[in-house]
Chain A
Amino acid sequence: MTTTSPPPRQVILGVARSDAHAVANHLIAMRLRESGFTVTNLGVCTPLEEFAEAHTAHPDAEAVIIGSLNGHAYEDLRDLPALRSAGLLQVPVIVGGNLSVGSKKSDRDHERLYELGVDYILGDAEQLPLLLDLLRAEARPPLSRV
């Protein structure tokens, strides 16, 4: 019996619209590539519509991963409900980074993002491959939030 290698696993990666931090973005791209993923990296200052366009172009992508280090995640992701109701970005959206301005973070910052439709908020980028494995195993709505 012959086996064929599975098709490469794809993800879409980028940094939120108002954010120009490139270093973490490239570190995460490297980490995912080392774990065998094909990464479409949209880079810094990427509006949500461009994430949606990339997902339309790569419908097999397992997730859209958005970094935000400048504290403006909520503002930058505001259009997520509108895009989703237009049938776009029907894929898990994972957000990570420094998600609000100020040194004190509250649960409310995370809740606001979940209310927009963000599926996962991840504190440790090293856990991305694990989260993506879990997502694939559970090709249905999330069991729990990481």
Chain B
Amino acid sequence: MSEIPGLRIERRVAAALPPWPDIVAWLRRTDKPTVAAVLAAADRRGVPVVQPRCGVGDHERMRELLQAIEAEGRPSVLTLTIDSYTRLKHFRSAAEALRRDPAGLNGYPLVAHGWRRGRDLDASVRAPLQVRHGSPDGRELFAVTLAAGITSFEGGGLSYNLPYSKNVPLAVSLEAWRQIDAVCGILADEGVPIDREMFGSLTGVLVPPAISLAVCLLEACSAAAEGVRCVSIAYPQGGEVHQDVAALRAIRSLAAKYLPERVAVYPVLHTFMGVFPRTTATADALIHYAGLTARLGGAVKVINKTNQEAYGIPDAATNALGVRTTAMAFTPFLDFVTVDEVRVEEERYWIEREVAELVDPVLDQADGQRISAAVEKAFADGRLDIPFSASVHARAEVMPRRDAGGGVRYQNYGRLPFSRATRRRNEQCLRGAPGGDRLIEAVTADINYFLAFDRHQDGDDHANS
């Protein structure tokens, strides 16, 4: 029976873990870099690392998948994507599905497999692993992740609740993630930095940059207060390069403004998370475009997509190809690629201003204390909000729109406390946006933005399959 300090988890899961000193000793071993070390090195070099998503139910298949992607794609960090049962803490259902039909699972059930198999996966590849999931309460999964020797864990009390669950109160998810962050704080003091990535992609559909960054910064503030020293702030590619580059660059200045100096903060780009083009050529172009955006924005990591994204889970070869297509954006022969710096700076000014208008009142209200209650109240009031929320605990009164150049703006502000200047600028941007009165059609077209580029593709190799 293992007691992880301050982490309240189900007894059955705790009983199967090794003692805490053994977990710490295993995390300290030096035969493999931590994810934090990989990110720090990439930041120094100025070349982003690429990380694919991957997860299947069966253990042997998972190991083969990791090894195949590593051999063909050479990613610097690899992923265990976790199945839906485990995300919802249905560990028994995950174990049953594993016995009955592992291929039916939509990810790797790490809790059901147990920490020894986690260590086996970790030992089977050179790159360190990150656990990616979507649990509003990931405490048991986190415990097994640590015991497996894995040094990076995605999620947060807002970004892994609002897009994923209908009715988990924010107080519940924020407290679960506070405990996780507190354990990371203890490990940081022990000399083991655990990378905590905040899921700024949220619902993945037309997320205005300031909303993504505000949510991640509030999670990062909570994490830093618990002692976390390595935070990755992930921003989803929207598709308009000036806005995306500005958002990535804003992560560093906002981190300097809102987080203590001892916290290392790494900007991460998630390759376009919305409706993906269906033709291989357009999909590959979008994937490469994300790489260029990451390069120009100074991202430290890219979580990439593949040219099978529109069709479901990719095979290993396609996944590895996605990694290489992204990484090709960092080669020296593309050194000539630049971006209109004046436009980027203008976007960045407004993104940082919007973030301040969202975040400052919440931090003021918390007044140096734990911010969870102030965050919860702000979401209840609609002063914080996300578009297309799956959860009833965000009002989802905010409605995004694309402007004529593809930038993501606000059709409706809901109750966000934006200044007159911010609103005026937003309305200027939206002038000339196509659509008119049929708002549902117009926003749907904005969501399907990249599908339009498929039309230029002849000789399509997927469309008839």
Interface string of A24-50 (1 = CB under 8 A from B): 101111110110000001111100000
For residue A101, CB closer than 8 A to chain B, the reply is: no
Size bin of chain B's contact surface: 20 to 34
Q: Is the CB of B203 within 8 A of A22?
A: yes
For residue A23, CB closer than 8 A to chain B, the reply is: yes
Q: Is the CB of B390 within 8 A of A44?
A: yes
Number of interface residues of A (CB under 8 A): 19
Q: Please, how many angstroms separate the alpha-carbon atoms of A46 and B157 in the complex?
A: 23
For residue A88, CB closer than 8 A to chain B, the reply is: no
Q: Is the CB of B392 within 8 A of A23?
A: no
Choose, from B67-75, B250-258, B364-372, B440-448, the stretch at the interface.
B440-448
Given A30-B399, A43-B166; A22-B389 close (CB under 8 Å): yes
Given A23-B388, A26-B388; A31-B440 close (CB under 8 Å): yes
Given A22-B203, A43-B166, A44-B166; A126-B441 close (CB under 8 Å): yes
For residue B291, CB closer than 8 A to chain A, the reply is: no
For residue B396, CB closer than 8 A to chain A, the reply is: yes
Q: Is the CB of B390 within 8 A of A20?
A: yes
For residue B209, CB closer than 8 A to chain A, the reply is: no
Q: Is the CB of B166 within 8 A of A23?
A: no
For residue A132, CB closer than 8 A to chain B, the reply is: no
For residue A118, CB closer than 8 A to chain B, the reply is: no
Q: Is the CB of A34 within 8 A of B388?
A: no
Q: Please, how many angstroms separate the alpha-carbon atoms of A44 and B205 in the complex?
A: 16
Given A22-B388, A43-B166; A27-B203 close (CB under 8 Å): no
Q: Is the CB of B440 within 8 A of A26?
A: no
Closest Cβ of chain A to B276, distance in Å, is 15
What residues on B are CB-neighbors of A126 within 8 Å? 438-441
For residue B149, CB closer than 8 A to chain A, the reply is: no
Q: Please, how many angstroms separate the alpha-carbon atoms of A24 and B396 in the complex?
A: 12
Q: Please, how many angstroms separate the alpha-carbon atoms of A29 and B411 in the complex?
A: 13
What residues on A are CB-neighbors of B441 within 8 Å? 126
Who on chain A is nearest to B275 by CB? A23
Who on chain B is nearest to A43 by CB? B392
Q: Please, how many angstroms separate the alpha-carbon atoms of A41 and B396 in the complex?
A: 10
For residue B412, CB closer than 8 A to chain A, the reply is: yes
Q: Please, how many angstroms separate the alpha-carbon atoms of A23 and B399 in the complex?
A: 10
What residues on B are CB-neighbors of A24 within 8 Å? 440
For residue A94, CB closer than 8 A to chain B, the reply is: no
Q: Is the CB of B411 within 8 A of A30?
A: yes
For residue A125, CB closer than 8 A to chain B, the reply is: yes
For residue B407, CB closer than 8 A to chain A, the reply is: no
Q: Is the CB of A30 within 8 A of B412?
A: yes
For residue B387, CB closer than 8 A to chain A, the reply is: yes
Please give me the 6 A-B residue pairs with the lowest Cβ-Cβ distance, nearest first.
A27-B440, A30-B399, A22-B390, A26-B388, A26-B396, A23-B388
A–B complex contacts, Cβ < 8 Å, 5 sampled: A22-B389, A22-B396, A30-B397, A30-B440, A33-B397
A residues bordering B, Cβ < 8 Å?
20, 22-24, 26-31, 33-34, 41-45, 125-126
B residues bordering A, Cβ < 8 Å?
166, 203, 205, 387-392, 396-397, 399, 411-412, 438-441, 443-444, 447
Beyond A30-B439, A126-B438, 17 additional contacts (C-beta under 8 Å) are A22-B203, A22-B388, A22-B396, A23-B203, A23-B447, A26-B387, A26-B388, A26-B389, A26-B396, A27-B399, A30-B399, A30-B440, A34-B439, A43-B389, A43-B392, A45-B166, A126-B441
